[in-house]
């Protein structure tokens, strides 16, 4: 029996394509570190940063959830404990942010920006690695995966 209340859920968001190897490595490390802390990883379930983060967590024995935009579960990457085809399109970005205790953005794109903005708007803590310039009252910029995980899950 688990105590659901004590498990943390961390959204890891970022571009699904055209991601540099360096950013993919960051995403992989974020996933691994979040899983190592016992938190569940939520992503959009597709490729790029989503896949790298899921893989990092999955390989570390963590639980990974993918909230897919489409209605076809087979679009999911291969590193998900649970793959949910929401059929919501980009509305699933809002569902993802709502389901998380905190969000880590790795890289940026317009879809990623929508998630960052929704997180700030709704009071979900959000940190960014290599994202676009945004106003000061928005997400907290961090240097890398280690700093990101420390920022959302506390020091260790």
21 versus 135: smaller Cβ distance to its own copies? 135
22 versus 73: smaller Cβ distance to its own copies? 73
What one-character-per-residue DSSP string does 49-93 give? HHHHHHHHHHHTT--EEEEESSS-GGGS-S--SEEEE---GGGHH
Nearest approach in angstroms of CB 91 to its own copies is 4
Q: CA gyration radius for the chain?
A: 14
80 versus 155: smaller Cβ distance to its own copies? 80
47 versus 111: smaller Cβ distance to its own copies? 111
59 versus 146: smaller Cβ distance to its own copies? 59
Nearest approach in angstroms of CB 1 to its own copies is 5
Q: Which residues bind its own copies (CB under 8 A)?
A: 1-5, 7, 9, 40, 58, 63, 65, 71, 73-74, 76-91, 93-95, 98-99, 109-111, 113-114, 117-118, 120-122, 132-135, 138
Q: Is 32 exposed, middle or buried (0-12, 13-18, 19+ CB in 10 A)?
A: buried
Nearest approach in angstroms of CB 128 to its own copies is 14
Nearest approach in angstroms of CB 146 to its own copies is 26
Nearest approach in angstroms of CB 67 to its own copies is 8
């Amino acid at each position: 029996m688990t105590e659901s209340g004590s498990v943390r859920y961390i959204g890891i968001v970022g571009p699904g394509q055209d991601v540099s190897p360096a950013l993919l490595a960051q995403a992989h490390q974020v996933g691994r570190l979040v899983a190592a802390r016992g938190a569940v990883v939520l992503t959009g379930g597709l490729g790029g940063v989503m896949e790298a983060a899921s893989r990092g967590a999955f390989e570390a024995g963590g639980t990974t959830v993918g909230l897919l935009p489409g209605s076809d579960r087979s679009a999911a990457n291969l590193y998900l404990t649970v793959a949910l085809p929401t059929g919501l399109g980009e509305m699933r970005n809002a569902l993802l942010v709502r389901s998380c205790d905190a969000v880590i953005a790795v890289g940026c794109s317009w879809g990623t920006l929508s998630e960052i903005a929704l997180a700030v708007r709704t009071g979900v803590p959000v940190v960014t690695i290599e994202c676009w310039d945004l106003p000061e009252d928005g997400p907290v910029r961090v240097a890398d995966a280690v700093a990101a995980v420390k920022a959302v899950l506390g020091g260790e």
